[in-house]
Structure 1
Amino acid sequence: MTEPTVVVAAALQESGRLLAARRSAPPELAGRWELPGGKVEPGEDPERALVRELREELGIGAELVERVPGEWPLKPGYVLRVWTARRLSGRPRPLEDHDELRWLGPDEIWSVDWLDQDVPAVRAVLAALAPR
């Protein structure tokens, strides 16, 4: 059995808010929200892939903090893994695959239409970010 393709995403937080990105493509995902990220290329380290994707998709330099426990199935043959992250440089803007970004406060997290496969990942992020 072949290993699934890994898709990486970032739970970027600032001032107690989480960054959400609205998809502009493909058509079946357009208008729905996700944690920003993308596919790991063959031979690429997942952490490096996520830093690269954030630079390409949002125009920011970022540092990964820690992996959120778990992984979530996407379409067949793909799994989603999420890291908490902080912005080091740049101002996030939708450069590829997105047409809007929003910083969501704790009471706004569920005000956007998350992609179905991102919902359990967002729940896990919220649990990981909760004060201990």
Structure 2
Amino acid sequence: MSEDTRQIRIAAALLTDARQRLLLVRKRGTAWFMQPGGKIEPGEGPFDALTRELREELGLSASLEAARHCGRFAAPAANEPGFTVEAELYALPLDVKPEPAAEIAEIAWLEPGTASTLPLAPLTRDHALPLWLFMLTEISR
């Protein structure tokens, strides 16, 4: 199997509420908490994929005008051993209550200033959380 076929392209969101809490999800049959989002289908743009996933998984709509593209990040895939996820991350404010649907088994909120005891996917642990913490420091300036 080539290096390219061992990569999974996804779009994911740093969703924060008015209290600056970060929303994480756990999909059915997995132990890891991660950002909402999912795989980018062939011919689909990253933000289009994210919009589709947020609607399917949490009943949310997303506006490109409200989104902030944070960059592309790679990490070992949490649920597919030997694979790497390459994620386009977007920060989005959340002003409605998410409703878990589709494959989402559980949601969790991370509070600013508290350590997480949740099992976190590598992308979340290594990239999303540090980015969220950096964004919190920018807000407080």
Measured against the shorter chain, the TM-score band is 0.7 to 0.9
Tell me the equivalent position of 1:119.
125
Code of the residue aligned with 1:112 in structure 2: it is L
State the shift of 1:126 in Å.
2.3
Tell me the equivalent position of 1:20.
24
| Residue-by-residue CA offset, 1:9-67 (whole Å, 9 max, x unaligned) | 10001121111112223xxxx12210110001000010111011000011111234211
Tell me the equivalent position of 1:103.
109
Runs of 4+ in 1 over 6 A off after TM superposition: none
RMSD value, Cα: 2.3
User: In structure 1, what is the Cα distance between the partners aligned to 2:49 and 2:119?
Assistant: 26
- For normalisation by structure 2, the TM-score amounts to 0.76
- Alignment length (residue pairs): 127
- Give the greater-gyration-radius structure (CA): 2
User: Which structure: greater strand fraction?
Assistant: 1
Which of 82, 85, 88 pairs up with 1:78? 85
State the shift of 1:124 in Å.
2.3
User: In structure 1, what is the Cα distance between the partners aligned to 2:114 and 2:105?
Assistant: 19
User: In structure 1, what is the Cα distance between the partners aligned to 2:17 and 2:114?
Assistant: 14
Please say if residues 68 and 125 of structure 1, whose CA atoms lie closer than 8 Å, have aligned partners that are also in contact. no
Code of the residue aligned with 1:9 in structure 2: it is A
Gaps of at least 5 residues in structure 2 are 78-82
